[in-house]
């Protein structure tokens, strides 16, 4: 977390330098291509190998991370800071992966990222219907396409049929975020005393992203926290926090076990319960009950996706066509099915990759060991269950990188959520903190 905060501060400070020092069009030569391969970015290594075979006439330069698997936070910080400094100063790699901790709301205003519209719009080879278009179009900013998404997550909750029936919770009533809040409040009036709404309270605090509240205006640098809807949301968060056990354990079938033991109504949304963990939990639930998926819908009734990984091109690159060709190679079946390409748990933006490459391996594999009493061999994740999961990807109508104002807001609201400060005092403090962030 400390590393990410420092990186974000670097982005803010260097943005001014980039805006002042990198104006004007760069003559395109497309004689070479420089690729940045970060730590554990196997997909980029695979793409470089495939690109060199397809375009042998292009000289490919590789800037590769020197980090090892041995944890060294300072070395990681130094390398990522150096990489970002190069980009912000208009130097370094032509093409690179965009990390989910980058402050994209600020980066997209700097000019650091090239507009890929001229290549994407005229590309007749790319089967655009094969890609989740709302996720793809999250890259649009002031008419420019600033990146190509690679994968994403979406907020799905997991429960069981018997738990929902016992607790009289009607998922059919949850048609949007407001009706979801109302259904949870109705449930609290008669709920079993030992059962919590979520296994971890982070589902509630992340819901401010999924809900799609229009809170921040980056143009006017103002934030709107004055509505009753926001107050009701934070009151709801406070109730969830009050029952939370702060047991932040991820994976290991914790959700399936808690549902089986009657401890929770829902396992957490998929930012912290990614696709592969969701599949494992569903397979474990198949041993004792019928799994039920419920999306955390936004205010319009759709679903908000969170971009996990994207690929971008340096704004002043002289090799944009080469870089776009590299992106297409990265998206190709050849690279996507190569060992190490798939980011653990993320949903590929390509429907075909999801169905043909990601789904089959985990649908019926063994767990390796017994976990929480669940057998090594659990019932398969059926094609019908996969189809239901994929059905929700078609309901995505909003998509974004995780906004950094959310972290500032939630940090400032902690005294209220902990019962240490009144709502009015805390929301005033939060507004000041977020406006300070916007002004940086």
Verdict on whether the full-model pTM lies above 0.75? yes
Quick one: what percent of the chain has pLDDT higher than 90?
Answer: 72
Q: Which CATH class is domain 26-153+306-336?
A: alpha beta
Tens of pLDDT, residue by residue, the chain (440 residues): 445 555 555 555 555 445 444 556 899 999 999 999 998 899 999 999 999 999 999 999 999 988 777 667 777 778 888 888 888 888 899 999 998 888 999 999 989 999 999 999 999 999 999 999 999 999 999 999 999 999 999 999 999 999 999 999 999 999 999 999 999 999 999 999 999 999 988 899 999 999 999 999 888 888 999 999 999 999 999 999 888 765 667 778 999 999 999 999 999 865 655 898 899 999 999 999 999 999 999 999 999 999 999 999 999 999 999 999 999 999 999 999 988 888 767 899 999 999 999 998 888 888 878 889 999 999 999 999 999 999 999 999 999 999 999 999 999 999 999 999 999 999 999 999 999 999 88
Q: Give yes or no on whether 26-153+306-336 and 156-302+400-439 have one common fold.
A: yes
- Tell me the CATH number for domain 156-302+400-439: 3.40.190.10
- The domains of the chain are located at 26-153+306-336, 156-302+400-439
**Helix/strand/coil (H/E/C) assignment for every residue in the chain:** CHHHHHHHHHHHHHHHHHHHHCCCCCCCCCCEEEEEECCCCHHHHHHHHHHHHHCCCCEEEEEECCCCCCCCHHHHHHHHHHHHHHHHCCCCCCEEEECCCCCHHHHCCCCCECCCHHHHHCCCCCCHHHECHHHHHHHEECCEECCEEEEEECCEEEEEHHHHHHCCCCHHHCCCHHHHHHHHHHHHCCCCCCCEEECCCHHHHHHHHHHCCCCEECCCCEECCCCHHHHHHHHHHHHHHHHCCCCCCCCCCHHHHHHHCCCEEEECCCCCCCHHHHHHHHHHHCCCCCEEEEECCCCCCCEEEEEEEEEEEECCCCCHHHHHHHHHHHHCHHHHCCCCCCCCCCEECEHHHHHHHHHHHHHCCCCCCCECCECCCCCCCCHHHHHHHHHHHCCEEEEECCCHHHHHHHHHCHHHHCCCCCHHHHHHHHHHHHHHHHHC
């Amino acid at each position: 977390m400390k590393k990410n905060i420092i990186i974000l501060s670097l982005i803010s400070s260097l943005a001014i330098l980039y805006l002042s020092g990198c104006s004007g069009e760069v003559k395109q030569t497309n004689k070479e291509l420089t690729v940045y391969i970060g730590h554990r970015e196997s997909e980029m290594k695979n793409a470089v190998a495939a690109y060199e075979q397809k375009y042998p006439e292009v000289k490919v330069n590789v800037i590769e991370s020197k980090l090892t698997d041995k944890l060294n936070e300072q070395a990681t910080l130094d390398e990522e800071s150096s990489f970002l400094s190069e980009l912000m100063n208009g130097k370094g790699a032509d093409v690179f992966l965009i990390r989910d901790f980058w402050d994209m709301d600020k980066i997209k205003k700097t000019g650091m990222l090239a507009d890929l519209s001229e290549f994407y719009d005229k590309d007749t080879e790319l089967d655009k219907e094969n890609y989740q278009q709302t996720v793809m179009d999250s890259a649009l900013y002031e008419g420019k396409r600033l990146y190509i998404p690679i994968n994403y997550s979406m907020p799905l909750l997991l429960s069981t049929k018997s738990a929902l029936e016992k607790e009289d919770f009607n998922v059919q009533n949850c048609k949007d975020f407001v009706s979801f809040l109302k259904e949870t409040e109705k449930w609290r009036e008669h709920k079993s005393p030992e059962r919590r709404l979520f296994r971890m309270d982070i589902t509630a605090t992340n819901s401010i992203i999924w809900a799609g509240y229009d809170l921040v205006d980056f143009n006017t640098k103002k934030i709107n926290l004055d509505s009753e809807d926001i107050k009701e949301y934070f009151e709801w968060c406070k109730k969830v926090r009050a029952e939370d056990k702060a047991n932040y354990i991820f994976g290991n079938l914790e959700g399936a076990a808690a549902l089986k033991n009657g401890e929770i109504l829902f396992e957490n949304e998929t930012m912290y319960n990614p696709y592969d963990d969701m599949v494992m939990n569903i397979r474990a639930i198949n041993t004792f009950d019928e799994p039920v998926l419920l999306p955390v819908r936004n205010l319009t009734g759709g679903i908000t996706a969170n971009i996990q990984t994207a690929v971008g091109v340096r704004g002043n690159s002289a090799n944009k066509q080469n870089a776009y060709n590299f992106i297409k190679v990265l998206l190709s079946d050849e690279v996507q099915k190569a060992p190490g390409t798939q980011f653990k748990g993320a949903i590929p933006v390509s429907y075909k990759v999801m169905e043909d490459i990601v789904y089959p391996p985990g649908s019926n594999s063994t767990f390796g060991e017994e976990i929480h009493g669940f057998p090594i061999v659990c019932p398969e994740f059926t094609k019908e269950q996969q189809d239901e999961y994929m059905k929700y990807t078609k309901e995505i109508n909003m998509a974004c990188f995780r906004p950094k104002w959310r972290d500032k807001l939630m940090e400032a609201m902690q005294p209220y959520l902990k019962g240490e400060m009144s709502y009015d005092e805390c929301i005033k403090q939060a507004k000041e903190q977020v406006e300070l962030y916007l002004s940086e």
